[in-house]
Amino acid sequence: MADTTTTPAPAEQETEVVQPRSRRRGIIIVVIAVIAVAALAFWWHSTFYEDTDDAQVSGHLIQVSSRIQGQVSKVYVEENQVVKKGDPIADLDPRDYQVAVENAKAALASAQANAAAAGVAVPLLTVNTGANLSSAGAQLSGSHAQVQQAQGQLQAAQARVTQAQANNAKAQSDLERYKPLVEKDVISKQQYDAAVAAAASAAAAVQDAQASAAAAADAVRVARQQEAASEASYKYAQTGPQQVAEQNAKARQAQAQVQQAQAQLDQAQLNLSYSKIVAPEDGIITRKSVEVNQNVSSGQNLLTLVSLSDIWVTANFKETQLKSMTPGQAVEVHVDATGKSYDAKVTQIGGATGSVLSLFPPENATGNYVKVVQRVPVRIDFTDLQHQDPNHQLRPGLSVEPKVRVKQ
């Protein structure tokens, strides 16, 4: 009886042990399968993105300098102060430049007066030269007529001289013939006296004719001198177009001087405006070195302005991550300093690796070459930074982690 009651016990215990082992094995298989599927899904999902922790925010560091020399009269900013575009930074003593503006205005007024006078002289000279040419032509014609008239009078005077000389020769001959006759009482004393008077009158007529001829010759000489003067005046009057052209050139020169004076005034006013130094962009003041009563020179740096209106991300991706990366792809940028993520996009992929752009690029021609995965800088721009970062919490140099979606 004891043997029959105790025999079936081992079979029941074996059944109870086998069932739990089979259940555990199935659970383990299911868990392994789930883990494998999850790992596969995670791997597949990771192929949609490329990320790196070698990235930082980049921006413009603007060196604010003085464009003119002068003494600082007032400083409006302090270190780490936030400024807007156009906010005053410092003032230079403007008195020297105000004097320069006044001098330039006076020079411009003088140049404008000279230009006005030169412009008025052009039409006046045009009219005068025309009148002078007509007058000189008429005077030259009159001089020619006077010369011809004087020459005619000279010819007539010379003819009278010849006639008087002939008459004198006849009268002298008659007187010589009458002398022996009067001595022999062939002719009367009265006839001889008449011959003497006629001879004297003929000699006087010769002298008068010669004097008239000499006067006529002088008149010809004077007429020719007047003719030469008239010709010179006429030739000078003929240069009227050249004189008008010269005056036009002077007028243009005066206008050029006006433009030059205007440019000098503009430069003086521009220099005066440079006495007020303002912020070129929105940003934060750093490295401030300007102080009141400091003498600064042209181009001297006064402070550094960290621009907050134009910032981007420079991410150094491995070359193995660039296979599917192209400009325009969406990026999620996580910023350690703020703990926030920002929307962005890939804008540019660098033209060379960081090692090539370094100060001492590697020389691989020595034979000691070891392949190293290179990194390429990628520019990432924020898509709507004005709304995502209204308080300008992002600063150049902050560490970020960009995640680029390379697959859709």
What is the distance between the alpha carbons of residues 131 and 237, in angstroms, rounded to a whole number?
9
Complete DSSP assignment for 179-191: HHHHHTTSS-HHH
Spatial separation of the C-alpha atoms in residues 206 and 5, rounded to whole Å? 207
Q: What is the pLDDT of residue 28?
A: 80
Q: What are phi and psi of 369, to 5 degrees?
A: -90, 130
Q: What are the residue ranges of helices labelled H in 274-392?
A: 385-388
Cβ atoms of 223 and 154 within 8 Å: the answer is: no
Cα 174 from Cα 168, distance rounded (Å): 10
Per-position pLDDT tens, the chain of length 408: 344 444 454 444 444 444 566 777 778 887 887 788 777 766 665 567 888 999 999 999 999 999 999 999 999 999 999 999 999 999 999 999 999 999 999 999 999 999 888 877 777 767 777 777 677 777 778 778 887 887 887 788 788 888 888 887 887 887 788 788 777 777 777 877 787 888 888 788 888 888 888 887 888 888 788 878 877 777 776 666 777 777 788 888 888 999 999 999 999 999 999 999 999 998 999 999 999 999 999 999 999 999 887 899 999 999 888 888 999 999 999 999 999 999 999 999 988 887 777 766 766 666 666 678 889 999 999 998 888 888 888 989 999 999 998 877
Domains of the chain by residue range: 99-260
pLDDT score of 256: 92
Q: Which residues contact 276 (CB under 8 A, 6 or more apart)?
A: 88, 91, 92
Protein fold of 99-260: Helix Hairpins (1.10.287)
**Does residue 75 contact residue 296 with C-beta atoms inside 8 Å?**
no
In angstroms, the CA 100 to CA 106 distance is 10
CB atoms within 10 A of CB 345: 15
In this predicted structure, what is the pLDDT of residue 3? 46
Q: Rounded distance, CA 371 to CA 373, Å?
A: 7
What is residue 160's predicted lDDT score, i.e. its pLDDT?
Answer: 81
